[in-house]
Amino acid sequence: MASLKGHEAIVRLLLEKRAHVNICAKNGCSPVYVASEYGHTDVVDLLVQAGAEIHLTDTENGNVPLVVAAAKGHTETVQRLLELGANPNHQNKNGCSPVHAASQNGHTDVVDLLVQAGADIHLATTDEYGSVPLGIAAAKGHTETVQRLLELGANPNQQDKNGRTALFKASLEGHEAVVRLLLEKRADVNICAKNGCSPVYAASQEWPHRCSGPTSPGRS
């Protein structure tokens, strides 16, 4: 609880009393996991110095501290975890990596940090969607993140397991600015999903009659 709330003095006191740093809650979350999720970088440092393991995963999704810090946009915490040896390409049970998590929530600065540390922006999730960071950011309408991913070399025409490109997903969700950006980057307007739906068809549909299902891999 002290790690979750960021109470550094209490954490320090508990460590002096030999509190075990790697005892996890029933959901598999360790003290360093929750400190990372809430952006308490100083607490992360204290825990790691005391022997906390930064590669332990939660039991629900298989997330590590770096994934949840990236999802929440805690730039300083992400930087510190990377310096401590966190794997920028760790994938959870659905194949979501830290850069997927950051892209889904529009944390462009975190995407930059992760890529500088070796994160693969072409990595696809291992669930039924096979989503890549660019497609996820496009589906959520995060124009700045989409632009940065393209600058970093993301393929605007990469398809997921259902054949959907970033342009298809942005069109489906009605994100005009993202569509314009992708077209400027020469995204192919005629690449169709596996069910034959094109981006222009997707843009013309209204819920609940649009031709595609979920556009993101769920919780990161």
The token pair at 76 is: 């300083």
> For residue range 98-112, what is the model confidence (pLDDT) as tens digits?
999 999 999 999 999
Q: What pLDDT score does 14 carry?
A: 72
136 near 125, Cβ under 8 Å?
Answer: no
Second CATH level (architecture) for the domain 1-119: Alpha Horseshoe (1.25)
Domain ranges in the chain are 1-119, 121-220
Q: Enumerate residue ranges in the chain where pLDDT < 50.
A: 1-4, 207-220
H helical segments located in the chain? 2-5, 8-16, 31-37, 41-49, 65-72, 75-83, 98-104, 108-116, 133-140, 143-151, 166-173, 176-184, 199-204
How high is the pLDDT of residue 89? 98
Counting Cα atoms < 13 Å in the Cβ hemisphere of 197 gives 22
Same fold, 1-119 and 121-220: yes
> Are the C-beta atoms of 35 and 21 separated by less than 8 Å?
no
What's the length of the chain?
Answer: 220
Q: Look at residue 149 in the predicted model and tell me its pLDDT.
A: 99
Rounded to 5°, the CA angle 65-86-159 comes to 85
- Cα 187 to Cα 59, 148, 157, 164, distances in angstroms: 39, 15, 6, 12
What is the structure's pLDDT at 16?
A: 74
- Residue 97: is it exposed, middle or buried by C-beta count within 10 angstroms (0-12/13-18/19+)? buried
Which CATH class name applies to 121-220?
A: mainly alpha
